[in-house]
Structure formats: structure tokens, C-alpha cells
Structure 1
Amino acid sequence: MKIFVRERVKATDGDKSPRFRVVGVTGGELTIKVKRIRKCELKQLAEHTGAEIVYLTRDGEGNEGKREAA
């Protein structure tokens, strides 16, 4: 089983808000009912379910999904 997560844009180190967003889960019967999750919570989920955590990378420009001006 794999849990795919990405780092939130507005979250930074030292913030008191969860830093990761779950993008998807594959292989298994795990349901995650939160929008944002902390790294320690992810590690606990992975430990108890035997899942691998996959950290997705961003392009650094924030251009994904934006429409080009016509």
C-alpha cells in the first residue's frame, strides 16, 4: 500500500497547522477523512497499515493547473 502526499503551499516549518495534504491511496482498504495531515500522523498510519509514504514534488513555480492567457 502507498500513501501519496504533497506539501501544502501555505504551510511552513514552525507553523501550528498540518503541513501535508493526502493526494491518494493505492492498494488496500484505508480511508482517510481529513484534508490536511501532520507528518507524525502520516508515519503512524504507515506504521500500523504497513504502507509506504510517497512524497510528491512540486515544480517550484506554482504553474500546474493554471490556464494560459488567451
Structure 2
Amino acid sequence: MAGKIFYRERVKRGQDGSKSPRYVVMATSGTDLKVHGQHFRMSEMKHMAESVGAELIHLERGQKHQGEAEGETTA
């Protein structure tokens, strides 16, 4: 059975156009992987998954947070 790496997009990203890493590893399952960084680029995530034989699983945000990506706030 292949392992899984669960990740999501960061909530707060640089608004100044900087090229900062935008993904966060939330959990791993079935892998012998220790994650020491906080934020990763997709290329780094793919390389980690390929190296340990894992599948990348993207965690979607809930409906409550759908508008926050565009700068909207929910009451």
C-alpha cells in the first residue's frame, strides 16, 4: 500500500507578489517521512512524494471559507 501525504494551501500568502511557498503538509499516512519545514512549493511536495512512494492528497477548504481566498470576510 502506498503512503499518502495530505496537504492544503496556506491561508495567508504574500500579497506583494513574492514567490513564497504556498502549501502546508497537514498529515502523512503509511510513510516513514518526517517533515521539518512549514511551507513548501508544489515541486518540493512532488519530489517528496515520489521519493517515498506516496500519493499527494489535496485537502479542500470548507464552504465557510470559500470567499476568503479573494479577500472577502465571512460574518
- The TM-score with structure 1 as length reference comes to 0.76
Larger helix percent: 2
**Consecutive unaligned residues in structure 2, runs of 5 or more:** 66-75
Moved over 2 A (4+): none
Identity across matched positions, percent: 43
| 1:61 CA drift (Å) | 3.1
Look up the match of 1:65: none
* Unaligned residue ranges in structure 1 (runs of 5+): 63-70
Q: CA deviation at 1:60?
A: 4.6
| Count of aligned pairs between the two proteins | 61
Cα distance in 2 between the residues matched to 1:28 and 1:54: 13
Find the aligned partners of 1:53 and 1:10 in 2 and give their Cα distance: 21
Give 1:68's aligned residue: none
Aligned with residue 55 of structure 1, among 46, 54, 58: 58
Which digits, 9 at most, give the CA deviation of each residue in 1:8-59, with x for residues without a partner? 12237x6411110110011121101011111000000111111000000002
